[in-house]
Structure 1
Amino acid sequence: MSYSNFSLEEVKQKFNLKTIENSGIFADIEPIESSDLLQTILQDNLPVAIASNSEKARSEMIIAPILVELKRHFKDEINLFSGVNFTVDETQDLNGICDFLITHSTEKLIISAPIIILVEAKKEDLNAGLGQCIAEMVAAQIFNQKENNNISIVLGVVTSGTNWRFLKLEGDTVYIDLTEYYLSDLNKILGIFCSSVDQLKKM
């Protein structure tokens, strides 16, 4: 078993998690203006990604440029890893490939604590990716603790590139925002990412 096999119900039961599901959990966060470069990239890439309609195309052409924009915003304060093997504890089925993983670390070649954001790409049904994303967030929490970095919050995202759903793991509680943000809300999406990084940096 691996991250991708977890359903929402299974991950809650296995790790004794509580979930709080509300709309607008991140509603008060201020948008961040996207760069002209990102807007041009998405304008060029979006028709190709939509026409291909594969998870890989959406991941490479829509999701990755947005996360690179986040990396650009914070320069070397954070690092972005794509398609990495992130095995934390095989005995608990916390193993497998993470689509995107963001650390607050200067290390570029290896994953170093703290891991602050996990992003899971899905072609269509975002709800189907919740269990997988939460399992990865739990693994990040354990990884951080093993590295003596007791950061209390991990942000999670399940996205098709055009639709974005945000989650937050704090202790044993998962906050699931029932609001879906769309690519037309790009500045809001960037605002949520940036605000979360700023908050986690202070910890």
Structure 2
Amino acid sequence: MSFDSYKNIGEVLQEFQITATEAEFIVESEITIRAEFREDLEFSLREFSFEDSEYAVCEMIIFPILKEVYRSYRDSFTLWSHKAIIYDQKLSGIPDYILAQRSALGKQVFEKPYFLVVEAKKDDFIKGWGQCLAEMVAVEKINNQPSQTLFGVVSNGKIWEFGKLNNNLFTKETRYYTISDIDRLLSALNFIFGECEQKPGF
């Protein structure tokens, strides 16, 4: 069974005995956004069609936004695109994006993941969160640090939803963020990157 076999969060909660709750855990703060990034994102949104292409959403919206925040954290992390994760037969697959600890051996070496991003294909956030939580469970088992907080995002490009997993407690951020308020969205992502940087190894 791969990650995308899970149809919703409930299936993952039951199978792995995880408790779910909701809270406001993201702390927003002002972040400087480069004018070049704003212009490029506006160009992409204006010039390209995203309705029929999941790849376009990933490549032209989700990844550029992640990359913009990643620029400030590149000494600590490596941002992976479509990197396979395999824990066992039930927990395996290819997350869209992974933020992992940067290896001292080089950017080619995959180290501990902290943050997973899943595209809500066909705007299906219910299935997207089932897949994302399954990926977070796999990473928790791979890292073998149950007390470590892991983060996840499900996005269709326009809407971004956040969650975190710690010690079999999944917390969904009650607020969602949108591309129409890019400052708040990047502030939320910056908070997540900063939280990951506080983990063991940094």
Alignment of 1:1-203 (within 5 A): 1-6=1-6, 7-22=8-23, 24-26=24-26, 28-90=27-89, 93-106=90-103, 107-113=106-112, 115-123=113-121, 124-145=123-144, 152-203=148-199
Gaps of 5+ in 1: none
Cα distance 1:142–1:35, how it changes in 2: closer, same or farther (>3 A)?
Answer: same
Q: Residue 82 of structure 2 aligns to a residue in which SS?
A: strand
SS in 2 for 1:141: helix
Deviates more, 1:102-111 or 1:11-20: 102-111
Q: TM-score, normalised by structure 2?
A: 0.88
User: Does the CA-based 8 Å contact 2:79-2:98 persist in structure 1?
Assistant: yes
Question: Unaligned stretches of 5+ in structure 2?
Answer: none
Alpha-carbon deviation of 1:183? 0.4
Asked whether the equivalents of residues 144 and 151 of structure 1 are also in contact (C-alpha less than 8 Å), the reply is no
Q: Deviations over 1:54-74 (max 9, x none)?
A: 211100000010111122111
Asked if 1 retains the 8 angstrom alpha-carbon contact of 2:76 and 2:197, the reply is no
Overall identity of the aligned pairs, in %: 29
User: 1:80-119 deviations in whole A, cap 9, x for unaligned?
Assistant: 11112111222xx100111001112234213211x11100
Cα pair 2:117 2:132 within 8 Å, conserved: yes
SS of residue matched to 2:181? helix
- The 3-state SS of whatever aligns with 1:174 is strand
Matched pairs, number: 195
